[in-house]
Structure 1
Amino acid sequence: MKSGKLIGIGVGPGDTELLTIKADKTLKSVPVVCAPRSSSSKPSLALSIVQPVLDEREEGYEVMEPLFPMIEDKNELEGYWDHAADEMAQRLNEGMDLAFITLGDPTVYSTFSYVSSRLKAMGFEVEIVPGVTSFTGCAAASGIQLADKDEIIVIVPKVDERLAQILPHGDTFVIMKTSRHSDELERIISEDNRDKKVMSVQNCSMEDEKVFEGFASDKKYLSTTIVKFSDKN
């Protein structure tokens, strides 16, 4: 019997209508959908995004919700990733295709990479269906052109000393999850004397989306700040 295929599907930043046609089509046909949760007490945000699509299905499907906690201990995380990969391998060995849904795009800071590398090493076929990234969604919401001509875009996953080091070499900076480091971010950006436009977006494309000038001050997890520099004075 032929093994099933693992399909990583980017579901975009939050709005179901931002799913690609291919994602929609795949989600309506795969027998198993894997939707990781960050906590046993919290529902999967990715699953809530695709649920309207799944509700249109005529045939049944299985939903797997492995726990991928937001912790820093890599050794402990490895155990969660191993366990999830083993459970997914069971379904794939039964010949069932499996869709792993992830916010944004599977190739950008996604937990999909941790399980896909394990399953690929086991010999399973892996396919990726790209999705709208959070930072392009935030740029659209805030009306910022991320880049023109030969401008350099820098995507920053964490605010630390590296940002200050590379700041002079980029034109547009997209800083993810900024609510946890807004004071430090504002300090680093203020030290650059170029003219700049700063926009922040919280819960991009969701019903409670918030777009504003400046830096995020409240503790919304899904917060992104875009800093667009112009020529030095």
Structure 2
Amino acid sequence: MTKGKLTGVGVGPGDPELLTLKAVRKIRESDVVVLPVSDRGLEVPVFSGENEREEDGLNNYQNRCVAYQIVKKAVPQVEKKLKMYLPVPMIKEKDRLKKIHDMDADKVCELLEEGKKLVFLTLGDPSVYSTYMYLHKRILKMGYEAEMVPGIPSFCAAASRINDSLAEKEEQIHIIPASYEIGKALELSGTKILMKAGRKLPELKRRLQGRSEKVVMIENCGMENEAVYQGAERIPEEAGYYTLLIMKEEKE
């Protein structure tokens, strides 16, 4: 029997029309749709339809999976596909995370041994701060086939949303994870993109006020509840997880 393949599919930032043709095709051709679940209540991988008592909880995970909700609007057939829910908690405990990722990879390999085609849905692009990469690397190391389908990154969509470029000529672009220490990164020249900034907004707002750069915050870019804030002083104290800031040096 031919072994299956795992494909990490980037679904873009939020607008279903931004899915690529290749992403749509891979989803349609798949046997199993893999949904990452950050909720700590899910401790082991489970499948839809496996246990009727658990179905309400799984539907809740499904409804909260932003990537899946985006795909549903572009590929309605995805609702009828078998779904596997993988625990991917947002924690920084390396040993615990390793055990969880190893467990996820083992379960995926069971399906690959059966010749199944799996698609793992991830927001934006799978190569940019995506939990998919932990699985991708393990699957390849274990001797199975895995690939990635690129998606439009949130910062590119955000630049289009505010009708501005990210960089021109010799200007540099710096992509910065805002949930970590960013002091030195703020001193870099060029355009700075602060990703996943929601939890650090109060601190970021204090740091950014009074600086010379132009600052724009975009929350939930491409989604129904999208919001744009121009200027550091207008940044709210709270925002959702899918929040990024673009800092650009003012031109003369």
Task: Assess same fold via TM > 0.5.
Answer: yes
Who is 2:195 aligned against?
Answer: 176
1:56 alignment counterpart: 77
2:228 is aligned to 211
Q: 1:6·1:127 contact (CA, 8 Å) conserved in 2?
A: yes
Q: How far is the alpha carbon of 1:100 from its aligned partner?
A: 1.0
Residue of structure 2 equivalent to 1:25 = 25
Task: Indicate conservation of the 8 Å contact 2:71/2:78, yes or no.
Answer: no
1:186 deviates by: 3.2
Which aligned pairs between 1:103-182 and structure 2 lie closer than 5 A? 103-158=123-178, 160-161=180-181, 163-182=182-201
Q: CA RMSD in A?
A: 2.1
The aligned amino acid for 1:33 is V
Equivalent in 175, 186, 196 of residue 213 of structure 2: 196
- Tell me the CA shift for residue 220 of structure 1: 1.4
Query: Residues 91 and 24 from structure 1, CA distance in 2 versus in 1: closer, same or farther, beyond 3 angstroms?
Result: same
String of CA shifts for 1:144-176, please: whole Å, max 9, x gaps: 310000101111112554x33243332111101
Check if 1:82 corresponds to 2:102. yes
Number of aligned pairs?
A: 228
The SS at the match of 1:207 is coil
- Against the structure 1 CA distance between its residues 167 and 53, is the aligned structure 2 distance closer, same or farther, given a 3 Å change threshold? closer
Residues 33 and 130 from structure 1, CA distance in 2 versus in 1: closer, same or farther, beyond 3 angstroms?
Answer: same
Q: Percent identity over the alignment? A: 39
Q: Segments of 4+ in structure 1 off by > 6 A? A: none
Q: Which runs of 5+ in 2 are unaligned?
A: 42-59
Cα distance, 1:9 vs. partner?
Answer: 0.5
CA contact (8 A) 1:34 1:64 kept: yes
Question: Equivalent residue of 1:164, what SS?
Answer: coil
Preserved contact between residue 216 and residue 225 of structure 1 (Cα < 8 Å): no
Distance 1:31 1:15 in 2: 24
Q: Tell me the TM-score normalised to structure 1 length.
A: 0.90
The one-letter amino acid of 2:140's match is K
